[in-house]
Every structure is written in C-alpha cells, then in structure tokens.
C-alpha cells in the first residue's frame, strides 16, 4: 500500500474516532442527567453507564491521536503500540462496572441490564482494532 492511501485511511479513521468520542460523551451526559432525576433502583446502573461512556470517549480520543500521528507518518508503528492495551482496559472498565452494579444492587435484573453497557465501550474498542489492523504501508 502506498503512503497516500495509508494517510487517507488514517484521516478517515480519525474522523470516525472523533464522531465516536462525541457520541460517547453525549451518552455520558444524557445518562448523568437521567441519573440525577431517576429513582434509587436505577441510579447505580446509570452512574455506571456515565463512567463507562466517559471512559469509552477517552478511548476514542486516544484512537484519534494515534490516527493523527499515523496521518503524519504512516510508517511509524509507535502509535499502534498501545491500542491492544486500550482494548484490554476498556474491557476491564466494563467488567468493573458490571461487578459494581451487582455489588450495590444485589439484583440479577439490574446486573443483566448492566451487561448492555458494553455498547458504550464498543466504539473505542472497534476503532482501536481497525486502527491496529491497518491498512499500513509495508
């Protein structure tokens, strides 16, 4: 693959990461507003959603930074180094949120509902995977 195509791909992935970061932050803000006005039973789940969405947004910003660096120098592999750890970190944040909801609510229904919080970290995880896989010039 030539460098121009790799730069274009990095630019497009960067735009996707920016859009995903905005989406995650808007979802975090919406969950925070709902958490303030919600009954006690659902408040724990919504605050967990705020944290998971905010971390997902930060993950998207890290992917955006990596793609910007790849847009400058597509042959540089340093921006790709931390993307695997980012995916692991996002998974751990999600698992910690599920366990927190389980510990606080002690209710199977809210714990099962908290499993759906994985959708809040998926944009960052998918973008990190797509960025790590390429296309990159050889």
Closest by Cα among 43, 37, 55, 40 to 96 = 55
Total domains present in the chain: 1
* Residue 136, phi-psi category: left (phi > 0), alpha (psi -120 to 50), beta (remainder): beta
| Alpha carbons 34 and 29: distance in angstroms, whole number | 9
CATH number at residue 70: 1.20.120
Nearest to 79 by CA among 2, 7, 20, 5: 7
Q: Is residue 137 part of a domain?
A: no
pLDDT of 32 > 80? The answer is yes
Query: Which region, left, alpha or beta, applies to residue 60 given φ > 0 means left and ψ of -120 to 50 means alpha?
Result: alpha
Q: Tell me what pLDDT residue 68 has.
A: 94
Domain interval for residue 48: 3-131
As a whole number, mean pLDDT of residues 5-30 equals: 94
27 is written with which tokens? Answer: 């979802």
> CA–CA separation, 65 vs 61, rounded Å?
6
pLDDT 10s digits, 72-130: 988 888 888 888 899 999 999 999 999 999 999 999 999 999 999 999 999 999 999 99
Would 24 be classed as within a structural domain? Answer: yes
In the predicted model, is pLDDT for residue 134 greater than 80? Answer: no
* Residue 43 covered by a domain: yes
Instruction: For 75-99, give the DSSP string.
Output: T--GGGTTHHHHHHHHHHHHHHHHH
Residue 81 lies in a domain: yes
């Amino acid at each position: 693959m030539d460098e121009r195509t790799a730069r274009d791909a990095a630019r497009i992935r960067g735009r996707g990461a920016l859009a995903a970061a905005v989406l995650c932050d808007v979802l975090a803000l919406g969950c925070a507003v709902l958490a303030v006005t919600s009954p006690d039973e659902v408040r724990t789940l919504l605050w967990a959603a705020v944290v998971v969405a905010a971390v997902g947004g930060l993950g998207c910003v890290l992917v955006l930074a990596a793609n910007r660096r790849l847009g400058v120098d597509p042959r540089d592999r340093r921006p790709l180094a931390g993307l695997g750890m980012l995916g692991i970190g996002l998974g751990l944040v999600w698992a910690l949120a599920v366990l927190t909801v389980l510990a606080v609510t002690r209710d199977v229904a809210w714990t099962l509902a908290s499993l759906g919080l994985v959708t809040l970290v998926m944009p960052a995880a998918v973008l990190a995977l797509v960025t790590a896989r390429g296309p990159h010039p050889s």
